Amino acid sequence: MKPDWDKLTKKFAGHASAGIFDVDCTSAGKPLCDQNGVKGFPTIKYGSPDALEAYEGGRDYAALEKFAEENLKPTCSPANIDLCDDDKKAEIEKLQAMSSDDLEAAIAKGTTAIEDAEKNFKDAVSKLQKNYEKLQKAKDATIEEVKSSGLGLMKAVQAAAKKSAKSEL
């Protein structure tokens, strides 16, 4: 992916309204990565630097280029209010009218809701994994028990009997 990313970075170098960057999350970029929820590498984020979104598309050059050309442009935000429709403008104005403490509390509530959803998901997946492993062991034990009880020999006897019956005709 790195060569394709580098090619895309070069293509968008100096672009008037979009930038494509590398951040080393293991050194000086770690605080930025932590702030934006980067946990695995490579992670691709896009959007306003103040509210980055996770990119879930293809990782080859064609997919990255198509996404960049279609999506990396100024979008509705407090910094680009002129790009907003009336509903978004009203929503931004409502948020701007909130006190700093109220806005911080609303952000914390949303962040906690996301973290809780992720934890619930991981816990449920862990339970599913344990159940899967239990079922896999039970299946394997049943298969082993049936095979060791002589299933293979039964099949061989049956096949020999059929062969013998055909040769008698």
C-alpha–C-alpha distance, residues 158 and 150, integer Å: 12
How does pLDDT run along the chain (169 residues), one tens digit per residue?
A: 788 888 888 887 877 667 788 888 888 888 888 888 888 778 888 877 777 888 888 888 999 889 888 887 777 888 889 989 999 999 999 999 999 999 999 999 999 999 999 999 999 999 999 999 999 999 999 999 999 999 999 999 999 999 888 877 6
pLDDT at 110: 94
pLDDT at 86: 96
Q: What angle do CA 95, 98, 104 make, to 5 degrees?
A: 90
* Structural domains of the chain ordered from first start: 2-73 (3.40.30.10)
Counting beta carbons within 10 angstroms of the beta carbon of residue 64, is it exposed (0 to 12), middle (13 to 18) or buried (19 or more)?
buried
pLDDT at 16: 67
**What's the pTM?**
0.57
